[in-house]
Structure 1
Amino acid sequence: MDLLKMPGVVYCEFEKGDCIIRQGELVETIYYLQSGSCYRCTITDKGEEIIYGIKESNDFVKSLLGVLIIFTDGYSNNNFIAQSKCVCYKIPKKVFMEYVSDKPDILKKLLYMAMEEYRELNSSFQSRQEGKVANRLCNLLLKNAKIKDGRLLVNKTYSNYGEISKFLGIHKVTVARIMKSLKEKGLIKIDKDGIIILDQEELAEFAQGNKLISY
């Protein structure tokens, strides 16, 4: 990749749990995630951690950590925490801006990514305001499920109640109550492999807000 060969770009590694970009930090460099994964989160004034998303090394634009920050005042509102060992390239802001200045396709993808993050944030706020966090939880499970050995299995990152509570910004006791209701309805089951979706169509009805869940 031409970008990684430009002057000033430096190879670096982070171990699981390392903070790659800190909340409140002035971002002068961004990172290209070559391998591994990290999550983007915010620590609230009350000390609560809210996770906004997972960054993985499977797409050039989406693997750029902190890239949208350089189009704002330059200060990060989030922490980017290594979820596993991460191999990265540290890219100075000026180098990246020079690289994309004549690449409208990349700028277009960055705009799409910004709008996706805006929609996700707006949806999260609206669901809490309208009391529809259970529907949002159903959507989270569906979005992160894949067929494995003939079963629709939710990614293990989203199978931990504590992690789900951080993604949705709700207490993990609330998560446990919603999951209990979903199990009682026969929509999911949980075993050693994690959360298995048993009725995708019915779960989608709840995810889309067509039905409400009592918990």
Structure 2
Amino acid sequence: MKNIKSFLQKFTVFRGLNEEELQLVATITNTRPYKKRMNVFMEGEVREAVFFILSGVVKAYKIDEEGNEQVISILHEGDMFPHVGFFDESPYPATVEVVDDAELLVIRIDDFEDFMMKHPQISIKVMKMLGQKILDLQERIQGFISKDVQHRFTHTLLKLAEEQGVDQENGVYLNISITNQDFANMVGTSRESISRALTKMKKQGLLKADRQGILIYDIEKLAKL
């Protein structure tokens, strides 16, 4: 229980809670391990729980009318999903698949609703933090869709580096097994366009990439693109 409480403090939605309130939330929280390529849930399924990533990486995606996968987001430690959260009765809005082995905190929506009825002061704090999270996502989406493919791909790399990058002597390393097709789905372009962009960046000495991850040699230089 103590470890769960300390983990809950990492998540934006609970940052406004004090120690006693976090302890109360921990009583309705469980942990679950997931292996790579497992689905956490499928788009359209009845929404039963909200998930918080303790470790690992997952991707959220939708399938369009032509059967193509459209990656909505890559999520990692400290993220929650789905972003519609606790206060909505709609089905899961996308499919979530584990990219790297993950451990998740799980709060069932029924348990959380009962909990909020008993502790309205916590409900107010949580709703405020969720509202801020939604505003942040809207700003990111607006800025993202206004750029061309090169800008969008560079932005995606920089965001992943900021959120998941590990500093090394020769640059920032992304230890994440995202394929070119995953990047293409995230950026809204073709796999070939991503391959060309990566090749160009490699020739410019900005990064190196393989199946295990990406090493960005110079974040500032990449950002100037």
Identify whether the pair has TM-score above 0.5, normalized to the shorter chain: yes
Runs of 4+ in structure 1 deviating by more than 6 angstroms, as ranges, are none
Counterpart selection for 1:143 from 147, 154, 159: 159
Quote the residue 1:82 is aligned against.
Answer: 98
State whether residues 159 and 195 of structure 1, in contact with CA within 8 Å, keep that contact through their aligned partners in structure 2: no
Deviations 1:24-72 (A, max 9, x none): 1221322344443322111212222222223334x3xx3x332524434
2:63 is aligned with 1:43: yes
The within-5 A match list for 1:98-137 is 98-99=114-115, 101-103=120-122, 104-127=124-147, 132-137=148-153
Relative to structure 1, the CA distance from residue 107 to residue 172 in structure 2 (aligned partners, 3 Å threshold; closer, same or farther) is same
What does residue 177 of structure 1 align with?
196
Q: Specify the SS of the correspondent of 2:181.
A: helix
Contact 2:158 2:223 in 1 (8 A): yes
**TM-score normalised over the length of structure 1:** 0.74
5+ residue gaps, structure 2, are 6-23
Q: Does 1:91 align with 2:113?
A: no
**Count of aligned residue pairs for this structure pair:** 196
Give ranges in structure 1 of 5+ residues lacking alignment.
Answer: 207-215
Aligned CA distance change for structure 1 residues 178 and 56 (closer, same or farther; 3 Å): closer
State the superposition RMSD in angstroms.
2.9
For the residue of structure 1 that corresponds to 2:66, the secondary structure is coil
Secondary structure at the aligned position of 1:68 is classed as coil
Alignment of 1:153-172 (within 5 A): 153-157=172-176, 160-172=179-191
For each residue in 1:156-178, what CA deviation from the matched residue of structure 2 results, as whole angstroms up to 9, or x when unmatched? 33763222112212111000111
C-alpha distance in 2 between matches for 1:14 and 1:20: 8
In 2, Cα distance between equivalents of 1:159 and 1:32: 20
> In 1, distance between residues paired with 2:101 and 2:218?
35
Identity fraction in percent: 18
Structure 2 equivalent of residue 213 of structure 1: none
Q: Equivalent residue of 1:144, what SS?
A: helix
